[in-house]
Structure 1
């Protein structure tokens, strides 16, 4: 069954349809993940979605239309999400293990080189993957992500400060108590989400589908209780000083209102030897939904210039 969001002029914002091929990929420890391939183009775009702990729906759907431009799109449900196995083992929720998971998927599908698009957490994992397995990378798109979490946390404090000192003090008090469910705290997070995650009146269906399958313990282990309070293992991660090793073309994408701010994007750009940046003025964390036409144009312009 195919589901679509189509503008009046026929532009397809997002599409969900059965995969042309599905794969079960075996990981260490006896676990399996489900991978999906669309199209038969010789140029492969590998998508790695954010979260962590989200099924791939939200990132897959707005990128399936690029199949019509001749690309093969490959994506998978990360371990603990979607149609992949859901083990109850907190020791699995590490950046290093997810890097090896990506390599297992690309190896199982015989994908020697890919155009790697990582969104948010998918960008963090993608950066670490590219540093570990650089021979797999033909080009990269680092979308709404960062390479320096301590710098990101400084930017987040600036965004929180815009709520006012009393609200920030309230948030800090409940964070110190570990009470992230208090209505006042949740209201502040909801407001920040509307400003900096998705500036839309409602979630698109693929986003809602991903949220419905959210595996919160994974997110808590790696990141923390929300987008504005990091307590997980990624808190001190920083690879800015390693980005000089990215010799391939790299497109940095940010929304002007993104929680992973344009300053995070420029921080990466200044460290990349072969980088370029596109900042979407009317977007936050999801320009593929917030400015879909401009996003698609920018993405295809970049990818078309990397065709072999």
Structure 2
């Protein structure tokens, strides 16, 4: 399987990318550009999607967002705002010559994807929103509700360390794992590619933009595009897990607010069905991408 890696210029920095498969594909299948979650997290945990290239001949394009992974790591707090990451999508597309394509955004990546698509870029044929978020306040409320279902002693550790600003403490990390093992990934043990992403997480980027899963204190705390979802006019697939931190309360506004959106729930998964149910996730994904390509001509 062909794999191409390199960097593209973005502002005065470099963004690293990996293309799995041939670009352009010999049979004309359109590439899938993957925007992973975070903020501040490299793409590794979504590597199961690479198999689309071998199974279906579809090129898959990953990149590490600025500030993490193999991309440049500038120490510039002013960079960590939504516009930086939306502009980065455009830069990657332009430099790699991704004309007609599909985009998949997972978790925080769905926020970036929504902001990007709402700019009405040309050439976008299909959009996949996986474990998506349309509004930070709604997501925070649901994450807080899930946290409050943890044992009281675990909640106490989390709340105490957040109040004291000691979230680097081992006890806090262990307590938050009780949350993540229920609603992030239910595999045991966690796969290596997920551990690589978590080990290389850029915590300062995450804290600047988000804060904590259930306590959004960063500059995204008021982010909400729910009222604009009706502007989307292209094939959209929405996915989530039965035990997803992106609960039905979080996901339903997207499924209902985007005309014609399909919503598929993965019954054995939390927030990462691409890793928890990888074969079925790819089957659902490829079926949607194929149908999007054979639908009416792109209007944007």
Q: TM-score, normalised to structure 1's length?
A: 0.88
Cα distance, 1:167 vs structure 2:
4.7
Deviations 1:149-201 (A, max 9, x none): 11111111210121255654553343222222345533331110110011011
Structure 1 residue 216 corresponds to structure 2 residue 203: yes
Cα distance, 1:18 vs structure 2:
6.7
Counterpart for residue 60 of structure 2 = 73
SS at the partner of 1:279?
A: strand
Residue number among 125, 128, 138 corresponding to 1:138 in the alignment: 125
Counterpart for residue 39 of structure 1 = 21
Structure 1 residue 98 corresponds to structure 2 residue 80: no
Contact 2:40 / 2:201 at 8 angstroms: preserved in 1? Answer: yes
Structure 1 unaligned regions, length at least 5: 1-16
Give the CA RMSD over aligned residues: 1.8
SS at the partner of 2:245?
A: coil
Structure 2 unaligned regions, length at least 5: 295-300
Q: Which whole-Å CA distance do the structure 2 matches of 1:251 and 1:259 have between them?
A: 18
Counterpart for residue 13 of structure 1 = none
Q: Which whole-Å CA distance do the structure 2 matches of 1:83 and 1:182 have between them?
A: 27
Q: Residues 274-293 of structure 1: matches in 2 within 5 Å?
A: 274-293=260-279
Deviations 1:49-76 (A, max 9, x none): 11111221211x2011111302111111
Q: Which whole-Å CA distance do the structure 1 matches of 2:187 and 2:236 have between them?
A: 28
Q: Which whole-Å CA distance do the structure 1 matches of 2:90 and 2:104 have between them?
A: 14
Residue number among 2, 8, 12 corresponding to 1:25 in the alignment: 8
Question: Greater relative contact order (Cα 8 A, min sep 6): structure 1 or 2?
Answer: 2
Q: Residues 114-125 of structure 1: matches in 2 within 5 Å?
A: 114-125=101-112
Q: Which whole-Å CA distance do the structure 2 matches of 1:173 and 1:160 have between them?
A: 14
Q: Which whole-Å CA distance do the structure 2 matches of 1:207 and 1:127 have between them?
A: 24
Q: Which whole-Å CA distance do the structure 1 matches of 2:200 and 2:82 have between them?
A: 20
Q: Residues 1-308 of structure 1: matches in 2 within 5 Å?
A: 19=3, 21-28=4-11, 30-40=12-22, 41=25, 42=28, 43-59=30-46, 61-68=47-54, 69-164=56-151, 167-168=154-155, 170-224=157-211, 226-308=212-294
Counterpart for residue 9 of structure 1 = none
Cα distance, 1:290 vs structure 2:
1.1
Q: 1:167 to 1:56 in 2, by over 3 A?
A: closer
Query: Alignment length, in residue pairs?
Result: 288
